[in-house]
Amino acid sequence: MSWLDALRHRARTWLRPREFEREIDAEMTHHFELDGLQQRDKTSALKRYGNRAYYKEERRRAARLHLIDGITLDTRHLLRSVRRSPTFAAVVILTLAVGIGLVTAFVSIADHVLLRSLPFRDADRLMMMLEVDPHGGLRTPSNPTVADWQRDPGVARAFDGVTYVRGDGAQLCVGADCENIGVAFFAAEFFSLLGARAQLGRVLMADDQKASAPLAVISHRLWHRRFGGDPTIVGRTVIVDSAAVAIVGVLPVGAVYPPFADLWQPISQYRHPDILQQRGFHADSRTLGRLRVGVDSAQAAVFMRTVGARLAAEYPREQADWMPSMIPIQRELLGNVATMVWTMSAAAIAVLLLACANVAGLLLARLTSRGRELALRSAIGASRRRVVRQLLTESLVLSALGGAAGATLAVWSVKVSRSFLAQQLPRMDELSVDWRVLSLAAGATLLTALGCGLWPAVLATRAHGSDALQARGIGSIGAPAVSRLRRVLVTMQFALAHVLLVCAGLLVQSFRRAADVDIGFDAPGIVTFRIRPTSAYAQPPDAATLYLRLMDAAKSVPGVVDAAFINHAPFGSAAITTTLTIDGRSTLDSSNQIFYRTVSSNYLSTMRMTMRSGHWFTDADMRTPGGAFVINESMARLYWPGSSALDQRLTVTRASQNRKDFGQPLTGSVIGVVADVHQASQDAAPAPEVYVPYTLETWPWGNLIVRARDGARSIPALVRAVRSVEPRLVAEGAVGEKDFSLMQDAVKNTLQPRLLSIKIIAAFAACALVLACIGMSGVVAYNIAQRTREIGVRKALGATSASIFVLILRESSVIICLGTLSGAIGGWASARLIRGMLFNTTPVDVMAYSASIAILAVVALSATVVPARRALKLDPVGALRTD
């Protein structure tokens, strides 16, 4: 292997140049010794050998050591100049580090959230099947409907298969430690359709549906959280809702479908098989479809419409108006995070561009001030190649350092954001910087080096040495062109910074408006507790007694003002809708998007909600329920616009699928209209709601709403109170106490994503502003340096400091104005891109624009003033002597 020998030799020489020198010296000595022994004539030995110094240099040249010498020399030059102006190097390295680091961090996050496919085979063909109605209502289809789809030949042509998964909550006990987890009950073909493999053990296949002993697969996150990633987990038995279940496999990281599930069991193990026979809306379920290869969702929708129309005719009560629809599960699992991540990535790329513009500007400025040095070098014999190489080495070394610092910053910021973003973005625990992203950082570094180094280098060497030597003033290689270019670069930087500032301003306005929204109740002081009764309370009367006892126990806690019950609390994660029919109107006029709330009589006073008209439930309504509903303002406005909703008759259906009487109609009249309460977040409009007495339909689980004088401090006493009623409701340790939460936190949390995007965009805007200021200071300082003599003359002729200041200011204000103007236009354009993130704020929000223009102007002026002060202090005599 000749190249291997060669490489080994070269590496040895290059890595240990000292040893190389020692070896060739030793070899020469040896040569002369032998020659002396043979010839006994010293002078002729020298003659025979030839010029020793020459051959030594020749040998070094043959070993290509002169290249290393050159690089060493360039580096030494660089270090010397860095020592002379450390700020320059620091600014270049920092600029690059910020640009490259941020871009790397954000590209890894974007890559992780958006681009890395889910751990399912061909995840882009997996569809979440839904049903839609003409009013825009959405529901998950029922098991019998899915069974009809499965038998339909059209569906079979579009899909490899569709399968129904039933969700449920269950108590998982490992030893004495219990917690509530999400369980998915799946049909035989589920795992093969999903295309997920087990990381450990196996997934459950068709044969396991008939297995007599209960088997289960668990999620990676449950495996880690509860079993510490125990590699011997397969074959272990755990207790799920008092039944022993054997774990046969663990799914890989991120393989979680439906998203609420941590444990998968065959549907034959489902405890309420009667629910599976009901048609209509199946909450807590998912239907998964896998599109055939070559079929897209539009083509599949055509087949689905046919079967949908057929079923609507066959089952008019449950299926009329409901047509099948689908969304990719990628969108279901990743949500609207996409807009946010893309926005952030765009901002990060803008900052990288800014950073590169800055570095280019800095290198250009430095080059012009070094023009004469380079000209001198050329004049005394440095080749063009040599000069370009020197400049290239400089920018390569600088950007290598910047790249290294950037990579460190990226690793660090990904680490920070992993914990920081875990609350806002899905699947953050799996986030890491991978090699692709790191090599991307390296690529960005190299491009920056070549772009910012090569081009100025070529520009510099194009000028004739003599021109530069003769030119007066501080360096003048291509001076007019270069300084025009630098002004353009700085203007661009201000424009970009302004775009980011405008976006940040619009987001801040949106946040302020969202935070100011009246949620319709008084959140501070409210503690919620999620009641998850054990199977001992499966019968409605038992559950009703439990809820009553829990409210009484909570009320007896010192500091507690009141306690109430609701099936699904606002700002909680769950809600249920009911089917509405209004007497004397067609079904077209009704909708399934009415939230169904079962409440106790003191719910209104505990929440401090407001009645708009009529009255709330009395205790008598609780004792003999039926015939009376309270609705919210939105519902009243939607169905009885312009007239009173009071005393209107309506029919809703029982909504708890875990009860035998699910879907039975409940008819009554409206006794009151309550002011709207925000259900999901401050920035989402309230939806129609109907309140029914909780005694009318005893919900199988629910929420205890407690108003205390100091919510957080009353939690320990509330834990004890709940435990005194039913110890099994609150497991020992932190697991059970997680079911207690402060309403105020839940309300605040809904705005967290907004706050986060503001923080990030603001951070980008600040970075951009700092970079633009560095660029501006550089331009101003350079202009002053170039006009030192002119300023000196003016001063000598009696110009005041003010007039000189105006002179300097005039130029930078052109840059600031142009930058601000084009930034405002850019801001307006990008505001349209982030429209989805705006709340009650138009893309031309006056406040956002004036604030960002003010910030920009102040910061830009201060970037001008600092170097300008130097010009004012200039001593006219000294200035005239310059050069």
Partner 1 sequence: MPKPDLLPGTLEMLVLRTLTLGPLHGYAIAQHIERLSNDVLRVEHGSLYPALERLLGAGLVTAKWKQSPTGRKARYYTITRSGRKKLGEEIAAFDTIALAIARVLGRAGQS
| Residues lying near partner 1 in the complex (CB under 8 A) | 1-7, 9-10, 23-24, 26-28, 30-31, 33-35, 38, 48-52, 54-55, 58-59, 61-64
Shortest Å, Cβ 18 to partner 1 = 16
Residue 360 amino acid letter: A
As measured in angstroms, the least distance from the Cβ of 23 to partner 1 is 7
Helix (H) or strand (E) holding 556: none
Contact 618, 601 (CB under 8 A): yes
Q: How far apart are CA 758 and CA 501, in angstroms?
A: 10
Minimum Å gap between C-beta 53 and partner 1 is: 10
Q: Which is nearer to partner 1, 1 or 115 (CB)?
A: 1
Question: Would you say 9 or 585 has its CB closer to partner 1?
Answer: 9
* Residue-by-residue DSSP string for 649-709: EEEEE---TTSTTTT-EEEEEEEEEE----SS-TTS----EEEEETTTS--SSEEEEEEES
Q: How far is the CB of 375 from partner 1 (least distance, A)?
A: 35
Q: Which amino acid is at 616?
A: W
- Closest distance to partner 1 from the beta carbon of 21 (Å): 13
In angstroms, what CA-CA distances link 80 with 73, 161, 390, 478, 508? 10, 70, 13, 25, 47
**Shorter beta-carbon distance to partner 1: residue 63 or 751:** 63
The smaller minimum CB distance to partner 1, of residues 64 and 585, is found at 64
Min. distance of Cβ 381 from partner 1 in angstroms?
Answer: 24
Q: Minimal CA–CA distance to 736: which of 146, 20, 177?
A: 177
State how far the Cα of 337 lies from the Cα of 332, in Å rounded to an integer: 11
User: Which residues have C-beta within 8 Å of that of residue 865, sequence separation ≥ 6?
Assistant: none
Using the minimum distance from each CB to partner 1, give the nearer residue, 6 or 588: 6
C-beta of 26: minimal distance to partner 1 in Å? Answer: 8
Decide: 537 and 547 in contact? Cβ < 8 Å.
no
Q: In terms of CB distance, is 29 or 573 closer to partner 1?
A: 29
CA dist 105 → 110, 325, 406 (Å): 9, 37, 9
Between 9 and 271, whose beta carbon lies closer to partner 1? 9
Q: With respect to partner 1, which residue has the nearer C-beta, 38 or 43?
A: 38
Cβ closer to partner 1: 27 or 589? 27
608 DSSP assignment:
T
Nearer to partner 1, 54 or 435 (CB): 54
Residue with the two structure tokens 């032998």: 34
Query: 3-class SS at 238?
Result: strand
Q: Phi, psi (5° rounding) for residue 50? A: 95, -170
Q: How far is the CB of 15 from partner 1 (least distance, A)?
A: 15
Reduced to 3 states, what is the DSSP secondary structure of residue 141? Answer: coil
Nearer residue to partner 1 within complex by CB, 1 or 802 = 1
CA distance 579 to 655: 8
249 Cβ contact partners less than 8 Å away, ≥ 6 residues apart:
198, 199, 200, 201, 202, 203, 204, 217, 218, 234
Given a contact cutoff of 8 angstroms between Cβ atoms, the answer to whether 713 and 566 are in contact is no
Instruction: Report DSSP letters for 405-446, one per residue.
Output: HHHHHHHHHHHHHHHHHTTTSTTGGG----HHHHHHHHHHHH
Q: Cβ of residue 42: shortest distance to partner 1, in angstroms?
A: 14
Rounded least distance, CB 62 to partner 1, Å: 4
Q: How many CB atoms lie within 10 A of CB 171?
A: 18
- How far apart CA 657 and CA 635 sit, in angstroms, is 24
Kindly tell me which of 39 and 803 has the beta carbon lying closer to partner 1. Answer: 39
| Residue with Cβ nearer partner 1 (45 or 442) | 45
CB of 66 to partner 1, least distance (A): 12
Distance CA 631, CA 627 (A): 13
**Nearest distance from residue 73's CB to partner 1, in Å?**
21
Q: How far is the CB of 389 from partner 1 (least distance, A)?
A: 21
